[in-house]
Structure 1
Amino acid sequence: MQARIGSAGFADRKVEGDLKTPTGVYSIGGTMYGIQPNPGVRYGYHRVVEDDWWNENPATSGYNTFEHGPNPGGASEALWTFTPQYRYFAVVNYNIPVVSASPPRGSGIFLHVVNPGKATAGCVSLAEQDLLTVLRWLDPASAPRMVLAPRTVLNRY
């Protein structure tokens, strides 16, 4: 499957807003999300509604978490407004739990639907049918991990 990554490539030391995809091995968050109804995933599923945010404001205690309610500020994402990207998505557990750092290490790394012809802001995106295949295949009982890295350094993992 072809995937898109952050417009600035990969980073071993990602920081908030750098448009890079973090290298490493990551688990998948316990809840999958989407603007559309549950496509038949084995994880918990939350259908995104208005006022669902991914908190990307490092000045708040909820940094790098899902929140429902008022805008948490900063670069927080209004999840219900990103289409096609957030029709379906899984959370890549990068910087979860949050590691305090200055500058902040980054937030909101997702596996989501590709926005045709565009790189991501640090996420990994797939064609919708490919993404749905992956999301339905993932089984939380198997504790799946995702390796993010350029091919040239995959031997690190």
Structure 2
Amino acid sequence: MWQRIPSGTRQIVAVYGEGENSPDSTLVLYEKQGNSWQENGSWPAHNGKRGWSTHHREGDERTPVGVFTLSDAGGLLDDPGAKLPYTQDEEAFETPYYWDENHWHDFDYVIAINYNRVPGTRPDDPTRPLGQKKGGGIWLHLDHGDGTLGCVSVPGSAMRYLLRTLDPESRPVVVMGDKTNLRA
């Protein structure tokens, strides 16, 4: 995966899944200082309910494996001091009323993962450059205690930290997948 990281990247959000079919993972933020990478935070996380996919499809409840840029953020709540462009919109990021109460705050804060989306647009922009069948709307968002429909979820403290730390000038990316696919 190192070869897929754009030159000039100085921030990496690494999400390591325990297994190909597991929703459990760890998120680690690395920042380049000089010529070396330093860990700058680690949190428990969740990925897709059915694990990871190297061939993600709409509705498969798996999180796509790969290296993706991070360029846009938003949420229901006011901007907590994000360095990435932030869109606050109470309607666009509201969870459906019929979702379980545990999910009502999932989208208080989100960071769009640039998988099958147009960077530089709102996180909720429905444009899918690779087509609808490849899925989209993959975000970092607040954790609700179990697997997601394809996003990566982390505790609120981690989301606020990432929003205040990820800097467009550092060309942040997320490297994510199960440990086996990440080593390949």
Normalising TM by the smaller chain, what interval?
A: 0.7 to 0.9
The residue aligned with 2:55 is 13
TM-score, normalised by the number of residues in structure 1: 0.74
1:118 shift after superposition: 2.1
Superposed, 1:45-64 pairs within 5 Å as 45-50=86-91, 52=92
RMSD of aligned Cα (Å): 1.5
Which of 83, 89, 106 aligns to 2:110? It is 89
Q: Aligned residue for 2:181? A: 153
Q: TM-score, normalised by structure 2?
A: 0.64
Q: State the match for 1:138 in structure 2.
A: 166
- Give the match for residue 63 of structure 1: none
* Aligned counterparts of 2:84 and 2:173: Cα–Cα separation in 1: 14
Residue identity in the other structure for 1:111: L
Partner of 2:69: 27
Aligned to 1:100: 131
Aligned-pair CA distance for 1:44: 1.3
Question: What is the total number of aligned residue pairs between the two structures?
Answer: 125
Question: Which amino acid is 1:21 matched to?
Answer: T
* Structure 1 residue 130, shift from structure 2 partner: 1.2
Distance in 2 of aligned mates of 1:49 and 1:89: 13
CA distance in 1, matches of 2:150, 2:52: 8
Alignment-derived partner of residue 58 in structure 1: none
Q: Secondary structure at the match of 1:87?
A: coil
Normalized per residue, the structure richer in strand is: 2
Partner of 2:154: 126
Compute the displacement of 1:151 (Å).
1.5
Unaligned runs of 5+ in 1: 53-78
Letter of the 2:138 counterpart = I
Aligned residue among 80, 90, 94 for 1:80: 94
